[in-house]
Amino acid sequence: MPDAALPQLVLSPTNSPSKSTVVEPDKIICPICEDLVDEELLQTFSKGLKMDVARQAKFCRLHKKKSAEQIWEAKGYPNIEWSELKGRIERHHDHIKSLIAGKASETHFGSLLMEKIKSGQNRTLLKTDDYLSPGYYGLRGMSLMTETIVEMFSALLRKRAPQDKLISARGYSGFVQAVLVPELAVMLIQEDMSLSAEKARGVMQDSRAVGE
């Protein structure tokens, strides 16, 4: 929030503080996040009335959700069947087990973590960057993946940690978050969209913003 005064909606394109030079005619700038938003969406929401900050914040959430849905559709991301996700994760049991048993260092996210460990980056604390969001599976997917992996493998993870620096460097939950969850998410995205691992990693990266 810029200052104590209520931020005013910028309805006229001419006095736009936006970084873009031209505001499209039927767009306005969201007073909260300064994204360009359909004016019609705002008019429908505000019913032409002036909005206080709470209303503006609500509007901001609404337009973000709407644009996420549009992106979701346009990009061809699948509908997530949440009730089936746990079962799908469990079907990757053997593969995840092999990662914990030593194959993790050969994976994409395993090597990334290994490089960070070797370079001595943030030895103990995980940065937010390290919590690799599983793309359109979002936080909800991340929780379920983490939970299910820990349920299946906490004993094995504890056993392997003293033998494997990759697992022990940030504690085994750090390893789960930084390696196993993103590797699993890539496999799920591959299944969803019939993609190569590399393409699925791209989708995972691109779709971070739209996940629940």
| 59 vs 175 by CB, closer to Zn ion | 59
Q: Is 32 in the site for Zn ion (CB under 5 A)?
A: yes
| 115 vs 212 by CB, closer to Zn ion | 212
Least Cβ distance, residue 156 to Zn ion (angstroms): 44
Q: What is the largest CA-CA distance in the chain?
A: 64
Least Cβ distance, residue 32 to Zn ion (angstroms): 4
Q: What letter represents residue 80's amino acid?
A: I
Look up residue 46 and give its two tokens: 């505000």
Q: Figure out which of the listed residues 1, 33, 53, 209 binds Zn ion, where binding follows CB under 5 A.
A: 33
| 30 vs 176 by CB, closer to Zn ion | 30
| 27 vs 160 by CB, closer to Zn ion | 27
For the segment 60-119, give every residue that binds Zn ion (CB under 5 A): 60
Determine the interface stretch with Zn ion among 5-13, 28-36, 42-50, 164-172 (rule: CB under 5 A): 28-36
Number of residues that bind Zn ion (CB under 5 A): 4
| 19 vs 127 by CB, closer to Zn ion | 19
DSSP the chain: --SSSPPPPB--GGG---SSS---TTEEE-TTT--EEEHHHHHHHHTT----HHHHHHHHHHHHHHHHHHHHHHHTPPPP-HHHHHHHHHTTHHHHHHHHTTGGGGSHHHHHHHHHHHTTTTSSSPPGGGS---GGGHHHHHHHHHHHHHHHHHHHHHHHGGG-HHHHTTHHHHHIIIIIHHHHHHHHHHHHHT--HHHHHHHHHHTGGG--
Strand partners, 37: 28
Least Cβ distance, residue 70 to Zn ion (angstroms): 14
Determine the interface stretch with Zn ion among 7-15, 23-31, 46-54, 131-139 (rule: CB under 5 A): 23-31
| 63 vs 160 by CB, closer to Zn ion | 63
The 177-206 site mask, x for binding Zn ion (CB under 5 A), equals ------------------------------
Q: Sign of torsion, CA 120 124 127 129?
A: positive
Q: Figure out which of the listed residues 23, 28, 30, 96 binds Zn ion, where binding follows CB under 5 A.
A: 30
Residues that bind Zn ion (CB under 5 A): 30, 32-33, 60
